[in-house]
Structure 1
């Protein structure tokens, strides 16, 4: 029995892919993506469901009208008792354990339920508002190993899918271009390479929606291929694999697919969810299929933006032209950019004097997913910097001044770090992930290290090897580590001075080892550092209150004698009177005569300030502290 791809039948039936996948879910049909195939009998079943659904919708509309009329008539004839609790009643109800009338729930439970329903309603409203926004074109970046055909593929798409240029055939390079396909516009970032991609991410911007990993069919996975995949995975963007050079006699696409499985990327042909497309950048074979998959992926991602909203964009690249001055390429992400707008980038601002699209045509405005080259900055902004708009020059200056002040405050804060409990321990009851980049001298060393690491994971700490490669670490590794908060571990390879300097500048841990178990010890330290500490209360000492000293500023001080152990300032305190515990708190202060002290030992007298005025002679104070327990 023949099979058909899901997206093909969806197109034939005139429904979107998301609706088609929903129908398949209801039927219990398994699939990997919209490019998966289904049997013809399943297709016929879906056609029947869609036809029946339209008929039932018409009937249910009439039925609902009849039921509504009947309900209205019934209510007119016989008044019904009101049993529902209104939101305002819930808000005013006292928090008691008594069940609310006719609900079987307490007022507390009803209030909680009302809050949850209000939250769900707000989420639904936000989703509905987003659904009203127009779709925008997907922005695509192409990455892969050198000489595998990234630039050639971009050149073929540009030459076949970009409209004719202006007179003279000269197009100004703007770092991105728009391709017109049968499913609409697709924007390609014309700066292939994972370093450029991650440089933009390192500055807090996500400019690409989809990553194309180009792999040569005659060469398969190479070091930079693995790096590109790691960078795309760190960004969390959908990936498509373009198996290039299939026109060559020595091409072996099946070998590429098999090799992908070794790095946990299983192609759809092998039962996985990674879409692989055989292409030839020289002949154009498969390029239409690749563009189709890009559009399908974008459809599932449901990319939308508000052209009437507040402007937001990101710098793709910039350069200084000897005649024109600073030229910067901006990818519009939200809102609409117009000639005459004031823009703020970092701690600089400028006014858009002229704007050119990717075809070299002068334009006056540009909406979401549109790359434009603008003239107006006095200094060249860096790739990845976010671009904001201001209503006038005064507002632009104000925004720059705020950013300068914020930077100074952050610099001061870095000089005097103040960590909160959350900073130290992390969120409670949350599994921690340690991101690692491994570099070794041989493949055998890498496999041995990874085998040992796999046994080191715990329920609380997961080890995520983002990239494992042979040879010395690169500046690209440092860049990836900076965006993913990763540690670079090297075995029997030495990083260059430039890489060491880059790691220092970005405050990345980069460590080299000659003995494998020294590296494993470092991983053990990383795991321990990410475990939530376990504490237990440890007894410190006991004191008897022999007199109470009245103090006008600090309150009552317990003049005490330490009968056992020691007391520390800041320790936990428990006061007992007879057999009853009358207070639990903290030792706010300790004094020996008139001096403040940190601790007082057994056999000495002291003044204990509990920040509690009810202490009495004869009370016994016990001190304790929380101590971390070895795990």
Structure 2
């Protein structure tokens, strides 16, 4: 049998190293210093015989017999300084012969705490950090990656401390599903499709309310949620914008929905955003009903649309497929009732149920900052019941619900599964698409939110301040890449995300677009200050700068652009990017001169007597010397003379004398070609 260490034997015997050490010293008179001590073979055999398993397979209970006595002995020894250090190391698994254990830490640790864990002077740890490229004080926190490098220097291992209470366990803590409590819930329907194919108009026909007229440009700019009642049964609708900038918002809608209505214009057919909507539906694995809208239009062709749908695997039932395709008209109301009946039938087949007695959880549909009411969030309850007074955790935001309103603005006290509500009482504006959970109290929500926020802050800090050699090299290489910094402010969070995504997609090899800040609310002095420091452009979407921001922007010459239509903003930024691009250069031949005679002048060099045979020769212009059709050298004209006078140019048919820079081997018959590079402004990326 090979030699074994104390901690290895303790693990095998399923007891703590501390108890085993005490037993070895007190009961077996085996001299061991700590859990890293090596035991002899005969000692191991004896201990295993006494502390192992009996012949009948039951574990021997000798350790328990000495439990009280051992506890008292360990407590006495723990008072001593040396034993205290051993206590800290007892559960660490060392990998080195020198006794260096495993250092445990969370996401960050102070330099002082690290020195104590390493049992090294603080000054030594700071010196080691300096050698790794990190300047840190005694009380400064350093991250896991930095500590890992320090531990490598001291030949010890590093382990991340496991959180005693996992975040997910806290927020998902709820009672088990009780079958008796499962009740039928309303289906959540998402309306998707290309811009201007009639999604919102179709919803208008369903819920008898006008939304399109209030939207800039007739385009839905935000996600809305509405509840309608048909034959005593409720249906919740999500209206996702159709413009390509809101791809992320459409994806979010597909992920939280039960059924998708794909709207396709009968006179337009499948368009780019229609394809994206189909992809989102397939990725989310949700049933899809195709509504071919605008059947009253002059160019309506239902068969053409059905044919195009087959290319994406959507085959109509009357063509032998399994996709429900229904011709409708939002303007005349044709087949709208049939569409709703199809929705209820599809929902019935899915057997949508939920337990309304559980703690509520769901998704943020939209969020905004209201001047009078503060942070306002539109939530879709997906399970459980949300009540006024509940404490909720929403991403890195928390709060206690002070008031709750339904989709018609009526104040309500609670909302069950599949019900969209607008809530007040959050500490900050949450991010659209974030999950929300009800927790036991506001203190828990605040602590969890702060933990999440700190993690995001640490990640952002590390990403912006920590540089490795590889990163440094890549940044040097990217020195030729120009960067357009943008600050985006909008009226709702969904618009911020959509604009940010669209702008960053404009990045090319020549110009990189970087949104350095995106937020909800008016443009403030803080935004202008950041724009000044970063040389950034400020874009406002459905928001305006306040008075102080306007004054500061004028003083600092910060450019503020306000928009109501998203693609106007994208086009303007694209134009700004084109203006930043290095211009393309076109070579323009000014003229050619033939060398007729060469003079050698001391202290001057070679002077070529030339005759201009084409165009004109310009002084200080670029030139190339051509011999037998081959370019010998490219250089610049150093001087140009007519007789004894310096001249700026010599035209065709005249003689001149010239001297070129850094080249004296000019010969009779050489052609000197004068040229210049003309900048051409780029008109496209």
Do both proteins adopt the same fold according to a TM-score greater than 0.5, normalized to the shorter chain?
Answer: no
TM-score after normalising by structure 2 = 0.39
Greater C-alpha radius of gyration? 2
